[in-house]
Amino acid sequence: MNELQLRSPHPLAERAPQAPSIVEVRSRKRPGPTDGFGRGLGVNGMSPRNLLLNPAEPLPIGRGPRAKASPSGRSIASLQGTPELSGKQFNAGLKARYQAINAELASDEPETFGERAALYSKYLKNPSQQYFAVRIANSDNFPALSAERLLLLWRRKPSAASLEQIEKGLAKIDAQKDQLGPWSGLSRSPAGESLKLEAAPKKDQRNIRKKSDIEAWNLAARYVESLAGRRKVLVVQDILEIEQRLLGSEGPRILHNQPRAYSFTTNLLGSDDINYMYTFTKSGKKKLDPSDSFIPGSSKMEMLEHFCTWFKKNRDTEHPVILAAQARQLIVSIHPFMDANGRLARQIANFILMQAGYPPAHIPQEPDDKNTSVALFPLKDFEDQISPDETMMLMIKGVLRAQRELLRGPAHVD
């Protein structure tokens, strides 16, 4: 899937400013009240909140996995199965639950999640009926079940074959970290400054086109690096501050500790909104697949809050590179804003890396025919998603590339 600049032809659908691949469909009036996460039940009665806060909980039986030490002393337990279930069996349990949600009631009609998803797709494809798609997505239990399906996808384990490759990559990263020293001592060096310039996604012509976009990226990067030096955890307000800088602003002019007010200055999506991807066919024709939709707008703020809680719980136990990969994927899959979601996810991943002494990951733009988006889509089939193996290896390769450039020096940056 390519992320491309497209505008929906429908007057109710607005493309976010400078948002190449994401089309934000906004209704003209607010839908009725939603249940948020209130009625969404996960496996064994777990709510979507608990699925996020307890990623090691086995599905559908057993106890959490025993921690396995990585070379850095951090655990990589989240990549394994459980004492009772292999990674393959664990994923099979996730898939069974993911598919079972299709038959769960999504409204008081009664109407199942699968039936409501089919209606959503039908209305979204019709420009004159897209407003109804907005209402369907943001009402009753549909947002909660969509969020649960996203979290089930996010919790998947890598294959046994890939796990060995991941462990070798982490061992190499930690060995080179010992050789280089912590990032705090490299950041202001010529090699460190060169890496920060090169690692900015300036080559990604789909998302960053203007000099102002690069300046905004650097503004956000400086803030994130400062934040990494003085904060152990993230709160929603931090995420919104990063987003504001990615939009070119030094910071909000609102009352402190009121993160919901940021929606007026960051284009945070809410219960009026849905967002999805357009793709191009090989012939260059624009294609809309409703299954390429993100979670409904009414779930996004609460999911950001849950992300922050998950990070706080796992930051001292999980290997930082894996944590960064998981954080990047979850943020870009929540897709909370009208613009700069991919860049935001990278900045949060870099916060995690720099805080642990690693350099910011250098993940360059891949060829146009290769899909390297790590986003997950809860309306797509369970198997029709980027694998956890590839998601983690993208981050591992990004950190290894950054370390290689630091070892070579500024004159040898690729």
Q: How much is the pLDDT for 265? A: 56
Q: How much is the pLDDT for 330? A: 98
Residue 31 CA to residue 11 CA, distance in Å, equals 18
10 Å CB burial of residue 309 (0-12, 13-18, 19+) is: middle
Average pLDDT over residues 118-139: 93
pLDDT over threshold 60, residue 195: yes
Q: Which two tokens stand for residue 140?
A: 């009753």
Average pLDDT over residues 326-338: 96
What is the number of other CB atoms lying within 10 angstroms of the CB of residue 61? Answer: 12
Stretch among 61-70, 105-114, 263-272, 273-282 having the lowest mean pLDDT: 61-70
Report whether 63 contacts 306 (CB < 8 A). Answer: no
What is the number of other CB atoms lying within 10 angstroms of the CB of residue 310? Answer: 22
DSSP per residue over 25-73, as a string?
EE-SS----B-TTTT---GGG--HHHHHH-TT--SSSS-PPPP-B-TTS
Residue 43 one-letter amino acid? V
Average pLDDT over residues 287-307: 94
pLDDT over threshold 80, residue 21: no
**Between these two residues, 56 and 385, which has the higher pLDDT value?**
385
Q: How much is the pLDDT for 8? A: 33
16-20, 185-189, 269-273, range with greatest mean pLDDT: 185-189
Q: How much is the pLDDT for 48? A: 43
Q: What are the backbone angles phi and psi of residue 201, rounded to the nearest 5°?
A: -75, 50
pLDDT in tens, 213-258: 888 888 999 999 999 999 899 999 999 999 999 988 765 443 344 4
> Per-residue confidence at 285, pLDDT binned at 50, 70, 90?
confident
Q: How much is the pLDDT for 243? A: 93
10 Å CB burial of residue 121 (0-12, 13-18, 19+) is: middle
Q: How much is the pLDDT for 86? A: 82
pLDDT over threshold 90, residue 113: yes
> Per-residue confidence at 411, pLDDT binned at 50, 70, 90?
very low
Average pLDDT over residues 97-119: 91
Q: How much is the pLDDT for 84? A: 62
Chain centroid to CA 182: how far? 26
What is the number of other CB atoms lying within 10 angstroms of the CB of residue 343? Answer: 24
Q: How much is the pLDDT for 62? A: 25
pLDDT in tens, 148-189: 999 999 999 999 999 999 999 999 999 999 999 999 999 999
Stretch among 32-36, 196-200, 356-360 having the lowest mean pLDDT: 32-36
Q: How much is the pLDDT for 289? A: 92
Q: Model's pTM, two decimal places?
A: 0.79
How far apart, in Å, are the Cα atoms of 34 and each of 39, 105, 140, 414?
10, 14, 5, 49
Q: How much is the pLDDT for 382? A: 97
Residue 23 CA to residue 17 CA, distance in Å, equals 10
Share of the chain above pLDDT 70, in %: 70
Residue 195 one-letter amino acid? L
Q: How much is the pLDDT for 381? A: 97
